Structure formats: structure tokens, C-alpha cells
Amino acid sequence: MRAIAEIGPVDRSTFEAEILLAAKPMVFRGLAADWPAVRAENGIGAYLKRLGDAPCDMIVGPPDIDGRIFYDADMSGLTFRKEPGSVSALIDRLEAAAPLVAAPALAVQSLSARDALPGFDTDNRIDLVDPAIGPRLWIGNRIVVATHHDVIENIAVVVAGRRRFILFPPEQMPNLYIGPFEFTPAGTPVSLVDPEAPDLDRFPRFAEALPHAQTAELGPGDAIFIPYMWWHHVRSLDAFSMLANYWWSVTPAAQPGLAPVDAMVHALLAIKDLPENQRSAWRAMFEQVVFDADASHIPESRRGIRGDIGGAAKAGLRRQLAALMSR
């Protein structure tokens, strides 16, 4: 795997003009080196406890899963359970488990810093995103998060411990053997392949994804930009690990009630069971009309849905779709 490109701390204008628009991953070494939380790495538990003790659901798994938050062997269940707890209770359990050779998997995921630990986001800031975007916190021990993607932009900052990231570009999805959409470990579909120990007999196409993989190990104060829909596998390497991430969207405001995943589900219902010759015809139609979207050969006034659609026209199309789907 090749290394993810790296750069030192950058300002927001440089990030938006050069890195965000390129839609390629980037590691920012030392971006948050001056954060009070990062400087408190050895005393991070006490630092967090001083900010609050909000209730939260804790992920708890037995030692034999080696921290992998995933499906069980026959995919009838998951390798972990959720227990009610609090930030301080999690910290206490992490500190008690730290010296164990075979420690249970312990974590809290996607915790809103502003709600759970007031003051964290004002004490610890990055300048690359809008200040209105609050961080979400990921605290645990040696947790392994399966390869997944987010339909949103992401900057993740390592606060304590080390994390190893493995990334794949969106077009490698067919080679990643993505699992169910409806039953997932944490809400988003995941790859069934362990990229650190792939079973190429079971998942032979993954060999085609490997040359496109990029990896980096980050320490406290380092950050990574993970672009929209890039697949990423994350391993926490230490007994106390913490990440703060920022999610945001740069796409135009979505039409109310519509999202790309909804279009995909609709297409599955309408196209999946057609004969192959018809599916091929629609594949070509989607490629031209939706993804290429070139309608320059049609006078602008006659492009209809293939042209610039105004708000009123979009509202009419939504009503038409709603009527069709209610039949």
C-alpha cells in the first residue's frame, strides 16, 4: 500500500482551494499539536472528566474479537453489544483494562462534543472548517472499524493514542465486497474483507483493490482529510485512543426528501429484475443522462430535465415521483 500524501498545517483558504477540490486524501502532520487535549495525552482521562460526564452508549466486546467491531461468523449477529454508561464510566473501564493482556473491546462512537463535553470544542479548534461544525468524539481502546464510507466530507484529528488508516477510492467499491445495507455494525455498509489479512480465496477481486489502497499511521495532533465516499478502515493501536472528527457537506442543498441513496433504491426496484438486455440499455441511459449529463446538442430551451431545473420544476418532479411511488 502506498502512503497517503502528507502536508504540514495549512490555512482554510489553501485547504478549500487545493485539497478539498482535489477530492484526494491528505494527512496534516501536527495540525492540532497545540490542542490542550493533545498536550494532556497522558492525562487525557482526567482532562475529559473535568469537562463533564454525559450519559452515552458504550460498545463492549469480548477479548477474543481483538477489537474488531464487525459481524459474527455467520452474520446472524454482531461481535459486540451496547451498554448504557457515561463518559467517566468508559474512561474508568479503559484505564482498568489498559494493563490486561487480553482486554475487552471498549468504545464510545460519534459522541457530540458540544452536548457531552461542553468546552471541548472551544478549547480545541481547527481552522479548516466552519466554526459552526462541532466535533464528534470517538474514544476507546484497540478498536478496529471495518472499511466503510461517509456520504460527507471528513477531517479526523487524533487526540490520544495512534491510529492506522487504510483508504480506498470510491470506484473500488465493486472490489471491496460490501455487506448488507440494512444490517450493519454501525449504521453504514461495510466491506466484508479484512484489508490487513485479506482472504483472497473468498474475496478474489480484493486483489484488484489493493494496488489502489493508501495508508497512514497518525499520532496525537495529526489529522487526516477523508473525502466524500472514500472507503476507510481504521485501527486504533493503543490502550487509550481518542479521535475528534468534523463532518460537513459541500454539495448543493439536497432536494427535500431526496438523496442519492434513495435514487439507488428506486433504481433497484425499477431495474434490477429486468432482462439483461434491458438492464444494459438502462446502464447506458444512466451513464449518458445522469453521469455524463451532456445535453449541449439540444437547444437550451428544450433540455427539460437534462437542463438547469429551477426550484418550481424540481418541486413538480418531486410531486410526480411521490404520486408514482404511492400507486
Model confidence over 249-285: pLDDT tens digits? Answer: 887 665 555 688 888 888 998 999 999 999 999 999 9
Give the separation between CA 203 and CA 22, rounded to whole angstroms: 31
C-alpha triplet 216, 67, 136: angle, nearest 5°: 65
255 occurs within a structural domain = no
**pTM of the shown model:** 0.91
306 to 120, 240, 286, 293, 309: CA distances (angstroms): 47, 52, 12, 7, 8
pLDDT at 191 over 80: yes
The DSSP output letter for 171 is: G
Domain finish residue from 194, 224, 248: 248
Residue 154 resides in a domain: yes
Q: Residue 254: inside a domain, yes or no?
A: no
Residue 65 lies in a domain: yes
Q: pLDDT, tens digit, for every residue of 60-106?
A: 999 999 999 999 999 999 999 999 999 999 999 999 999 999 999 99
Grid cell, residue 232, equals 476507510
User: Could you tell me if residue 267 is inside a domain?
Assistant: yes
Share of the chain above pLDDT 70, in %: 98
Task: Express each pLDDT in 107-118 by its tens digit.
Answer: 999 999 999 999
User: Each residue of 290-307: pLDDT tens digit?
Assistant: 898 888 888 888 888 888
In a domain, 207, yes or no: yes
> d(Cα 322, Cα 195) in Å, to the nearest integer?
41
Q: Is the pLDDT of residue 21 over 70?
A: yes
Among residues 224, 248, 272, the one where a domain terminates is 248
Averaged over 216-232, what is the pLDDT? 97
CA gyration radius, the chain = 22
Q: Are residues 51 and 129 in the same domain?
A: yes
CATH number at residue 119: 2.60.120.650
Q: What is the pLDDT of residue 261?
A: 85
Residue identified by cell 428506486 is 266
Q: Which domain holds residue 276?
A: 260-325
Domain count of the chain? Answer: 2
Nearest CA among 99, 68, 42, 71 for reference residue 242: 42
pLDDT at 256 (0 to 100): 58
- Average pLDDT score, the chain: 93
CB 175 within 8 A of CB 206: yes
